Structure 1
Amino acid sequence: MSVLVVAPGRDVSHWVETLKSQHPGMNVYVYPEDHDNEEVEFAITWKHPRGLFKNYPNLKVVASMGAGVDHITSDPEFPEDVKITRVVDKQLTSDLSEFVLALVLNHTRHLSAYKHQEKDSNWNVLKYCRNSDMKVGIMGMGVIGTATAQLLAKNNFKVSGWSRTEKDCEDITSYYGDNSLEDFLQASEILICLLPLTDATSGILNKELFEKLPKGAYVINVGRGEHLEENDLIEMIDSGHLAGAALDVFKEEPLPEDHAFWEHERITITPHTASLTEAESVIPQIVENYERFQDGEELKNLVEQDRGY
């Protein structure tokens, strides 16, 4: 049995070295080097070429190199009988939740606005918002969403979460299901998207949703670029309904140089850097699943493919 690593455009040599050090004797191929497709039963990937995995007749498991799996589940030719696993990593979760806290504070304390004022030598004091006065809503209460909600609550924000099913988290108000979405939005002065990308959530950040937020609400998207209808966001900011947005993910990455977001002073852009996967941190769990697969045991962090996460 062989393992195939597929990550076009990335240098995965460190991944291969770490895999072999964690599991000596593992036979690892890196796509697209020459290899026998029939040998491959386990693959590790980030943004594989569409349709690639249908060419591996004995493939049983595909492991995402990161927390997201939409790059796998969005492949219309992905074999239905192949299992998918995702990364659940404490370091990734901590990094991302701290990043979101920084974006929230950047907004409430007007740091980006002051940066723009510097250009005009403008000494204009803006009234800031105290944490305890701000209502923050998080869309998507999985592992990362829950950790982010808890960190914000520890910093005295009033936090609510919206998810598919009810969550029981101390100091977090839980909204769940489509019937409670409008109530959740009306209680969100800062809206944070941490949803998985599925058919149901694609384009969910749109004009219709923004109109249900309080006037002056702020939007943070650290989910996926496909969650956001970009023109709707600009329209709602320019109309004054939204105060602005912080975006770390985009439909096209890198963001094109001529994109309207670059010139908009009320949109903060970061280059998909909320959390970065480190091989040493995530490979142990991938190797554990590899060994579980070899032993016929249940895999950890298995994706429910009908839900997309």
Structure 2
Amino acid sequence: MSIALLLNRARAEEWKVEINRHLPEIKVEIFPEIENYEEVEFALCWKPEADYFTYFPNLKVIQSGGAGIDHLFPNDIPSHLHICRIIDPMLKSDMFEHVLTCVMHSMKKFSTYIEEKENKDWRPLLYKSIGETQVTILGLGEIGGYVAERLVQLGFNVNGWSNSPKNLQGVSSFTGIEGLSAAIEDTDFIVNILPLTDATKGILNCRLFDMCPKETVLVNVGRGEHLVENDLLDAIAEKKIAEAYLDVFHQEPLPQSHPFWDCPSIVITPHVASRTNIGSSVLQVVDNYRSMAEGRPLRNEVSLEKGY
């Protein structure tokens, strides 16, 4: 048996060192430099090429190199394969810190002050305090639920919208289309942390923006495909959305000709909200490899039917 790594080369080298530290007896190879494709039963992947799984006739487990798994489904995955993702406490913490930074930056009008500094314009602005601010989290999974609870602990008023009801302390839980409207009707911020599925693709669209209070702020740290880009530009022009903080995009890096670059109401970050920490995540991968070898249940396995 062997482990194949289908990742960015630099990250793959890091993963190989860490995995071999815990599994010195196991062959760990970086694709496409695989000695025997038939020996591979476990593949650690991040944004692999299409049909990647067809190279390995005896593959059993596909392990995502992060929390996201949508990148593993360019085509239909055979039902006998097990798909797992990483749930890393540091990844959740990093996501919370990024979301909090976006929310506070907007609440305290820093974008305006940065612009006005260029003109040497001294103009104090009104702002909201934490206890006066409503945040709606779309997606209350491992990461979204953590972000929601941490915001509550700081004193924010937090709504959450998800596929099924959640019982999170201090978070008002909503589900369904009617629930989505209720969750955002009085909100100041919408933070998208949904998984990307057929049901959530394009959910950040004109219909949702029309339901928002005037000058809502959007934070998208989910996936670029959640957002209908032209609908956002229209909503900003119509002042339905005051600002957007975008960390994920349909195409990455964002093309230089993209209109988002020229929109002063959009803050762009280059997909840095949270990044899997190899040192703190490697034991999940090692444990899943051992579980596969011993026939035990896998950690953080996802549903092929649901897509999360």
What TM-score range do you get, normalising by the shorter chain?
Answer: over 0.9
Alignment of 1:265-280 (within 5 A): 265-280=264-279
Over residues 93-145 of structure 1, what are the superposed CA-to-partner deviations in whole Å (9 max), with x where a residue is unaligned? 01111110111000100112211111211211111111111111000000111
Partner of residue 67, structure 1: 67
CA 10–204 in structure 1, closer or farther in 2 if over 3 Å, else same: farther
Alignment of 1:4-15 (within 5 A): 4-8=4-8, 10-15=10-15
* Secondary structure in 2 matching 1:48: coil
Partner of residue 56, structure 2: 56
Identity level (%):
39
1-structure distance, mates of 2:241, 2:216: 5
Tell me by how many angstroms 1:178 deviates.
Answer: 2.8
Alignment of 1:22 onto 2:16: no
- Extract unaligned runs of 5+ from structure 1: none
Partner of residue 299, structure 1: 298
Question: Conserved in 2, the CA contact under 8 Å of 1:116 and 1:265?
Answer: no
* Secondary structure in 2 matching 1:211: helix
Alignment of 1:105-184 (within 5 A): 105-184=104-183
- Extract unaligned runs of 5+ from structure 2: none
Tell me by how many angstroms 1:216 deviates.
Answer: 1.2
Partner of residue 244, structure 2: 245
1-structure distance, mates of 2:191, 2:108: 17
Partner of residue 228, structure 1: 227
* Counterpart residue type for residue 15 of structure 1: W
1-structure distance, mates of 2:15, 2:9: 14
Give the TM-score normalised by structure 1: 0.97
Tell me by how many angstroms 1:10 deviates.
Answer: 4.2
Over residues 50-103 of structure 1, what are the superposed CA-to-partner deviations in whole Å (9 max), with x where a residue is unaligned? 01112211100000000100001x321432221100000101101111110111
Question: Conserved in 1, the CA contact under 8 Å of 2:86 and 2:300?
Answer: yes
Q: Paired residues, what number? A: 308
Question: Conserved in 1, the CA contact under 8 Å of 2:4 and 2:34?
Answer: no
Over residues 170-220 of structure 1, what are the superposed CA-to-partner deviations in whole Å (9 max), with x where a residue is unaligned? 111111123311111213221000000001101100011110011111100
* Counterpart residue type for residue 180 of structure 1: G
Question: Conserved in 1, the CA contact under 8 Å of 2:61 and 2:83?
Answer: yes
Give the TM-score normalised by structure 2: 0.97
Partner of residue 211, structure 1: 210
* Secondary structure in 2 matching 1:43: strand
Question: Conserved in 2, the CA contact under 8 Å of 1:189 and 1:218?
Answer: yes
* Secondary structure in 2 matching 1:44: strand
* Counterpart residue type for residue 114 of structure 1: Y
Over residues 208-250 of structure 1, what are the superposed CA-to-partner deviations in whole Å (9 max), with x where a residue is unaligned? 1110011111100000000001111011011111111100111
2-structure distance, mates of 1:9, 1:221: 28
Tell me by how many angstroms 1:23 deviates.
Answer: 1.3
2-structure distance, mates of 1:71, 1:281: 22
* Counterpart residue type for residue 17 of structure 1: V
> RMSD of the TM alignment (CA)?
1.1
Tell me by how many angstroms 1:264 deviates.
Answer: 1.1
* Secondary structure in 1 matching 2:17: helix
Per mean C-alpha deviation after superposition, the further-off stretch among 7-16 and 226-235 is 7-16
1-structure distance, mates of 2:142, 2:260: 30
1-structure distance, mates of 2:11, 2:134: 42
Runs of 4+ in structure 1 deviating by more than 6 angstroms, as ranges, are none
Alignment of 1:39-50 (within 5 A): 39-50=39-50
Question: Conserved in 2, the CA contact under 8 Å of 1:54 and 1:79?
Answer: no
Tell me by how many angstroms 1:295 deviates.
Answer: 0.7
2-structure distance, mates of 1:23, 1:7: 19
